[in-house]
Amino acid sequence: MPISFEKVSYEYAPHTPFSYQALRGVDLQLAEGRITAIIGATGSGKTTLVQHLNALLIPSEGTVRVMEHEIAAGRRFKDAKKLRQKVGLVFQFPEYQLFEETLIKDVAFGPINFGMDADKAAAVAAQALSTVGIDKADFEKSPLELSGGQKRRVAIAGILAMQPKVLVLDEPTAGLDPQGAAAVMELFRRLNRSQGITVIIVSHDMEYVLDYCDQVVVMSHGQAVIQTDVKGFFESEQYMDQANIDPPAIVRFRQLCAAKGLKLPADALTIDALADQIAKRIGR
């Protein structure tokens, strides 16, 4: 079942002098089993949008449907805890949520909260830690002994251990070095391809959106203005202009060549494909 937003609006601090309309009538469908990127300028409503997916926020207007759950404006949503086990949300800079004495205890915290017994939780936690690439020898270490990148992976493991069907990540690569970021994106792709987990990623980094995501949603001023597949998005000058993003290097290069009179096909979105096209044009 796809996840859908029907005319969803959200207002922070209503009826106060600080009220702020973050979402204005969002109509959106997020495909099941795919990796969708949510992009847009800071303040466009991306973080507000994804916090509706696990009922951290309830819409001021409209309805959000996630799997068999319906989160409607004006009504108390009673199944929040059930939903939060199925939709795992990883915040930006999730390192700060680690608090237990050891990594394995921290990762087991989520599953235990959702009713798993301690032994099973420990097993699931061990599995999750291995999935994110933490060595078994380190399981009993304290989170404080880890580097930033390692802490982030443990935080992600903490959500994976909950065995969610949908994984939502807010800027998972922020502040990571290039290899750390690539490792983390690879992980999501693996989880999606091998277990069919729906992955939703809020991101600013167009390189990763191009290389790892299937679908893209563009948010602007609280509305979802574009919803399309990634290839279609990066092939369209119009879409990229409308989204007002910094295109990935490969697109910028194509644009530079076009400006100098060499039109290269828009669907050459990998370095090999582009090199093939250029070689052809030069006559090799």
The correct pick among 159, 187, 197, 200 for binding another protein (CB under 8 A) is 159
The correct pick among 1, 13, 119, 194 for binding another protein (CB under 8 A) is 13
Nearer to another protein, 1 or 13 (CB): 13
Nearer to another protein, 9 or 54 (CB): 54
Tell me if 284 contacts another protein by CB under 8 A.
yes
Minimum separation from the CB atom of position 186 to another protein (A): 13
For residue 77, give both structure tokens: 């949503």
Tell me if 15 contacts another protein by CB under 8 A.
no
User: Taken in order 229, 233, 239, 245, is the CA torsion positive or negative?
Assistant: positive
Measured distance CA(73)–CA(260) in Å, rounded: 52
CA dihedral of 61, 62, 66, 68, whole degrees rounded to 10: 120
- Burial classification of residue 88, based on how many CB atoms lie within 10 Å of its CB (0-12 exposed, 13-18 middle, 19 or more buried): buried
Number of residues this chain uses to bind another protein (CB under 8 A): 62
Residues 84-123, interacting with another protein (CB under 8 A): 84-85, 88-91, 94, 96-99, 109-110, 113-114
From the list 67-75, 79-87, 189-197, 218-226, the region that binds another protein by CB under 8 A is 79-87
**CB 91 within 8 Å of CB 50:** no
Q: What is 192-245 written as a DSSP string?
A: HHHH--EEEEE-S-HHHHHHH-SEEEEEETTEEEEEEEHHHHHH-HHHHHHHT-
Tell me if 131 contacts another protein by CB under 8 A.
no
Measured distance CA(120)–CA(254) in Å, rounded: 52
Measured distance CA(245)–CA(6) in Å, rounded: 26
Residues 176-215, interacting with another protein (CB under 8 A): 177-180, 204-205
Length of the chain in terms of residues written: 284
Tell me if 276 contacts another protein by CB under 8 A.
yes
Nearer to another protein, 42 or 194 (CB): 42
Tell me if 271 contacts another protein by CB under 8 A.
yes
Measured distance CA(230)–CA(201) in Å, rounded: 13
DSSP code of residue 251: H
**CB 147 within 8 Å of CB 103:** no
Tell me if 76 contacts another protein by CB under 8 A.
no
Nearer to another protein, 144 or 194 (CB): 144
Nearer to another protein, 69 or 84 (CB): 84
3-state secondary structure of 250: helix
Nearer to another protein, 98 or 197 (CB): 98
Interface ranges with another protein (CB under 8 A): 12-13, 17-18, 41-42, 51, 54, 56, 81, 84-85, 88-91, 94, 96-99, 109-110, 113-114, 144, 147-149, 158-159, 162, 174-175, 177-180, 204-205, 245-246, 249-250, 252-253, 256-257, 260-262, 271-272, 274-276, 278-279, 281-284
